Structure 1
Amino acid sequence: MDKKKGTLHLRKGMLKYLVAALSVCLVLTGCGGTNGSNGGTNGSNEPANTNQGAANKTNDTSEKSTDTDKSSGEKVTIELWGWGGTFQTKYAEIVLKEFEKEHPNIKVKYTVDQGGTDKLTTLIAGGTPPDVAILDRFMVGQWAAKGSLENLQQFVDIDDEVSADDYYPGVWAEANYKDQLYALPMSTDNRAIYYNKTLMKEAGLDPEKPPVTITELDSMAEKIFKKTANGSGYEQVGFIPWMNQTYLYTQSWNFGGEWTKGDELTPNDPQIVKALEWMVGYAKKYDMAKINKFNDVMGKTGINPFWTGKVGFVVDGNWILNDLTSNAKVKPTFEWGVAPMPSADGYPQTTWAGGHSWVMPKGAKHPKEAWELLKFIGGYKGTLLWAKRADAGNDISAMPAVNDEMKISENPNLKVFVDLMPVAHYRPVTPVGQFLWDETFRVQGLALNGKGEPKKLLDEVKKNVDNELKKLESK
């Protein structure tokens, strides 16, 4: 395999996968969504409940040995910082055990994440970080900018085992900062629209023709909304553009919005403004108070609103398919389907992806050995081993070749998500990524509740993020 660098990789990878995307016709902190019971992420990209009583445990996956330099021929112990609970147990047995078989000179000490990113930041500042750690890919740019991660480009430049072409374009791009690699993708996910065929049929719509455009979605949704007998709320809703995984980031790309222009952040891009205006239109037309009342009722069910059968269309991730087998409450009594999200007229259907990654924290004591572990667990072998676990559910791998090997496209519902991966967007790789994310939700809430006009609010976001960048640059 030829060795390539970040930007060149991305361009070539994009060309390769954008071709595949044409056949499809056709997005806080992360991601994303593997099955939470396996130590993955939920729909908001927040880590799932990971400690599960194992916060103080470590798991050495080979026999005890002395820490010495690799060049001596003796074993070197490196520390991996990861989620606890079932993830720790299974990952050590399925992936790390195999790594140690192939690398007899390296022993992996598994340390359970205790205190999240705050604790990891403290360890890095104190000069005692683990050699490898799990990190929401959305945070890579921010951590790289503040000098908390080792630059992996130095290893990629002399190692032809890692190539951008092995990953989906957006997934690889999110692991890079200023054309330098700082992480290897671990997992990914994306978003599509789930539609209730039964409600469509009852509304006189063709259940086999889900909406392709925003205009079609608006028209179909209107026919499904049904008020309660006393008219004080809704018995069922057609669509709510801020339910589940549909919020400003999601809809911005459906409207053709761009969050960056070169090195500049552009949260007030005209198409992003249009997306927020459209969302506000729903709040006004269907009455925010009545929608909130409906959402409160849905919240009390303890399951995803879509599975109640009371929602016509909802944007969500591939991970909610796991509810069908892991949640005893979810037993749909209606027909349903999955399709790419509708887009504004004239714009292609798309999605956005999140997920986690493996990084080498700044100050890692054994960088060479850590790189060997990184390229195994973040590469084809480790990714495939993890994908083959019995309870992988509806996970999507960050590597097309692994998805092909697992034949996950044979699942028609999951195929929708896999086919969208080559065109998946990703949140801006910036030192103020978290700040920008928080700002978008702040102004979204204000706009939906009639406390500001979309254009003015997003101009305010632009000013705030630019000021935040200036503060960081002056330090």
Structure 2
Amino acid sequence: MAMKTWKLSTGLLSVVVVGASTVVQGCGTASTSSSGSKDTSSSSGGVVQLTYWNMWSGKWEQVVQKMVDQFNATHPNIHVNMLAVPSASGDQKLLTAIAAGDPPDVFTEWNASIGEFAAKGAVMNLDQFMTGKYAGLKNWFYPSVTQFGTYNGKLYAMPWTENTYALYYNKTMMKQAGLNPNDPPTTLAQLFTVQNKEWKFGNGGVVTQMGFYPSGNFEHLMPAFGLSGSDLFTNGKYNLLNTKAENDMSYIAQFKKYPYSQVSAFTSGLDSAGGGSTDAFDIGKEGFTISGMWEMGQIQADDPSLSYGVEPLPVGPGGNANSTWINGNYNMIPSGSKHPEQAFEFISWLAGYENAAWAAEAYPTGGWVPNSPEITKQPAYQKWLSQDPVRKQFVNVLNSPKSTTDPVTPAAMLYETQLTNAEDYVLQGKKSVTQALSDLQNQANQELQNDAK
């Protein structure tokens, strides 16, 4: 799923730490919530009641609720009560609850806010629970997936299901452009040349069809240039003025040849032109796009007849083939959780640890990429992959040690938001590559200084 971002309040996070320290001392006692209702997260009748918040809605909420129901059915001493909170305000709602001494026991996070939560003590360090049967948990995951949940070498958010990315290509549009639909580009240079043949314009230069447009793809293209999170963050500061980052943004800058205003007008008008869809690729109006496995489900809903293929991300100079940028769904235990040990048991179960056969059956219901090779190799998951070989592209890249994510820092949310702005400035020709990266670097490092105060 696509990530939505917003700026967390540093001031509120400071309040959270004070409030959380008070809550921990009273763990396990019945209380009244900040809304005045009885606290359902306390133990009752020998059954521990856990409160679980996430930001899903619609069909996704139903998928997760079914998993929660299965946990409850198999764990008679723990009962999980799930609440879906609005995605646009989920992080802020969580922080408010922690500050008020009434946090949930578990929160699912997919935004780049984990570093800020961890730095301010708003969520628990999960390493403390990794003893006994959980001692080998970290090594059970694909090595690359733990990066998104790790801050200062400690795991604060447990990997659940992953977002990996690949290149989708429209076979029909390739054929119409005189290209071989079974020979997609494998380098970024080839992609730029090939996609250029697929653009179409109407009267007044109005865009009617796109080849490829990389707005929002700087992060996805990081492996293509051998760019890792450790390249972007060194010695406690953001370092964006390095050759790999400049090559990444320079590739995006090539697309300023296509009028930004016309592209924006084209994409903003898709909801009416496409019968409700806002995805140009899904309705056959874009030749190439970088996306995750969920795109397959959207295509099935928007245009089941679409002829398309999927290939690993094309590579650029110094790039890493068959690798990807990673984010996904991660579970945190907020500071002040009344039942942290049971909360850890719940999120470990969801992650499939010592429960891989169940996860292999459950994850396909959401079209999800697993967090561990132990889940991937299960017969049920292999069967699901074989039903559509395209799916394998999104799982195989997790085996690459070169797959990466953004640096996890207290300024990661601001960095991600301002990165999108930097890309747009470059595509509009308002800033050079160097200026855009320099400004972004200064903004992110200033945020780090503000957070340290």
> TM-score if structure 2 supplies the norm length?
0.81
2:263 pairs with 1:287: no
Instruction: Please give the per-residue CA displacement for 1:57-100, whole angstroms capped at 9, x wherever unaligned.
Output: x9x9xxx99826xxxx93322222234655555544x4334434
Question: Distance in 1 between the 2:73 and 2:311 partners?
Answer: 42
Task: Specify the SS of the correspondent of 1:218.
Answer: helix
2:16 pairs with 1:44: no
Q: 1:351 to 1:262 in 2, by over 3 A?
A: farther
Distance in structure 1 (CA, Å) of the matches to 2:242 and 2:392: 32
Flag structure 1 segments of 5+ consecutive residues without an equivalent: 1-32, 34-42, 48-55
The answer for the alignment partner of 1:345 in structure 2 is: 317
> Does 2:174 correspond to 1:200?
yes
Residues 157-201 of structure 1: per-residue CA shift (max 9 Å, x gap): 444365223222221121121111212112211111111222222
What amino acid does structure 2 have at the position aligned with 1:469?
A: L
Residue in 2 aligned with 1:336?
A: 308
Q: Residue 3 of structure 2 aligns to which amino acid in structure 1?
A: S
Look up the match of 2:102: 128
Map 1:157-306 onto structure 2 (within 5 A): 157-160=131-134, 162-228=136-202, 230=203, 232-242=205-215, 246-257=216-227, 258-261=231-234, 263-283=236-256, 285-300=257-272, 301=274, 302-303=276-277, 304-306=279-281
Equivalent of 1:314, from 264, 289, 294?
Answer: 289
Change (3 A) 1:99 1:290: closer
Cα deviation, residue 290, structure 1: 3.6
Q: Within 5 Å, which residues of 2 pair with 1:81-96?
A: 81-82=53-54, 83=56, 87=60, 89-92=62-65, 94-96=66-68
Please tell me the residue identity of whatever aligns with 1:453: S
From the superposition, tell whether residues 460 and 101 of structure 1 become closer, same or farther in structure 2 (CA, over 3 Å).
Answer: same
**What SS is found at the alignment partner of 2:83?**
strand
Q: What is the identity, as a one-letter code, of the residue corresponding to 2:375?
A: V
* 8 Å contact kept, 2:5–2:417: no
Q: Which residue of 2 aligns with 1:116?
A: 90
The yes-or-no answer on 1:409 pairing with 2:385 is yes
CA distance in 2, matches of 1:164, 1:368: 17
Q: After TM superposition, what 4+ stretches of structure 1 lie above 4 angstroms from structure 2? A: 83-90, 381-384
The CA deviation at 1:357 is 1.3
1:396 aligns with 2:369: yes
CA distance in 2 between counterparts of 1:157 and 1:391 reads 30
Task: Decide whether aligned partners of structure 1 residues 375 and 206 sit closer, same or farther in structure 2, where only a CA change above 3 A counts.
Answer: same
- Change in CA separation of 1:268 and 1:45 when aligned onto 2, cut-off 3 Å: same
| Structure 2: runs of 5+ lacking an equivalent | 7-34
SS of aligned partner of 1:344: coil
* 1:17 aligned partner: none
Q: Please, what TM-score do these two structures have when normalized by structure 1?
A: 0.77
Q: Select which of 61, 69, 79 maps to 2:51.
A: 79
* 1:332–1:458 CA distance, 2 compared to 1 (3 A): same
Amino acid at match of 1:267: L
Distance 1:415 1:471, change over 3 A: same
Structure 1 pair 332–345 and aligned structure 2 pair: CA distance change class (3 A): farther
**Counterpart residue type for residue 77 of structure 1:** Q
Alpha-carbon distance between aligned partners in 1 of 2:435 and 2:60, rounded to the nearest angstrom: 45
Whether the 8 Å contact between 1:299 and 1:305 is mirrored in structure 2 is no
Cα distance, 1:383 vs. partner? 6.5
Q: How much has 1:252 moved relative to structure 2?
A: 3.6
Q: CA deviation at 1:414?
A: 0.8
Aligned length: 407
Q: Does structure 2 retain, via aligned residues, the 8 Å contact 1:45–1:354?
A: no
Distance 1:383 1:135, change over 3 A: farther
The Cα shift of 1:149 comes to 0.4
Q: CA deviation at 1:437?
A: 0.6
Identity of aligned pairs, percent? 28
Q: 2:253 & 2:270 partners in 1: Cα distance?
A: 21
- The change in CA–CA distance for 1:463 and 1:137 in structure 2 (over 3 A counts) is closer
In structure 2, C-alpha distance between the alignment counterparts of 1:186 and 1:362, rounded to whole Å: 20
Alpha-carbon spacing, 1:339–1:452, altered in 2? closer, same or farther (3 Å): same
Shift of 1:337: 0.6
Distance 2:41 2:213 in 1: 57
Residue 18 of structure 2: aligned partner? none
Is the CA contact 1:150–1:361 (under 8 Å) kept in the aligned structure 2? yes
Instruction: Check whether the contact 1:194–1:339 (CA below 8 A) recurs between aligned residues.
Output: yes
Match of 2:32 in 1: none
1:421 match? 398
Is 1:67 aligned to 2:37, yes or no? no
